[in-house]
Amino acid sequence: MRNIAALIAGAMFGAGLLISGMTNTKKVQGWLDVFGDWDPTLAFVMGGAIIPMAIAWRITEGRKPALGGAFPEKPNPVLGRKLVIGSVMFGAGWGLVGLCPGPALASITFGGVGGFVFLLAMLAGMLMAPPLRAKLD
């Protein structure tokens, strides 16, 4: 059951990324390009995504997940340099090409050579991250 739910969630996520235009790097870079031809679409995507998720977090209060276990606890509001350095690195890469991890995978069957190379580099980066993360502790 966990796997079926994960498959459905993954499929809906992928469909949502495609429909919303987030697999189109031009739209993502358009959102970040405040001094160019600014495209506010990403704000509508974020808004549309945050509403059902905010309701979901409300539902979790005092309950347990449908398939058992426990809901993730709210992380301590500790910011730290890992959060800041990592987010700045991520944002820079996101701006350069216009892909983040979800859309990079969602578009792999139609993103051409560039999309494939990006995914490989991203996976390599994920493999390189743990020792770098340990150094920042």
Partner 1 sequence: MNQDWLMGLIGGGLIGTSAAIFLLVNGKVMGASGLIGGLVDKSGLGNWQERAFWIAGLVVAPALMTLMFGLKPTNVTGNIPVIIVAGLLVGIGTRIANGCTSGHGVCGISRMSLRGIVATVFYIGAGGLTMIIFKHVLGVI
Which 27-66 residues touch partner 1, going by CB under 8 A? Answer: 27, 29, 32-36, 39-57, 59-60, 64-66
Residue 62 C-beta: closest distance to partner 1, Å: 13
Q: Does residue 18 interact with partner 1 by CB under 8 A?
A: yes
DSSP 45-70: HHHHHHHHHHHHHHHHTT---TTSS-
Pick between residue 62 and residue 79 the one whose CB is nearest to partner 1. Answer: 79
Give residues with Cβ within 8 angstroms of 81, minimum separation 6. Answer: 136
The Cα–Cα gap between 135 and 81 comes to 11
Cα Rg of the chain, angstroms: 17
Pick between residue 4 and residue 62 the one whose CB is nearest to partner 1. Answer: 4
DSSP 70: -
Residue 76 C-beta: closest distance to partner 1, Å: 8
The Cα–Cα gap between 39 and 57 comes to 29
Q: Of residues 83-122, which lie at the interface with partner 1 (CB under 8 A)? A: 83-102, 104-112, 114-115, 117-122
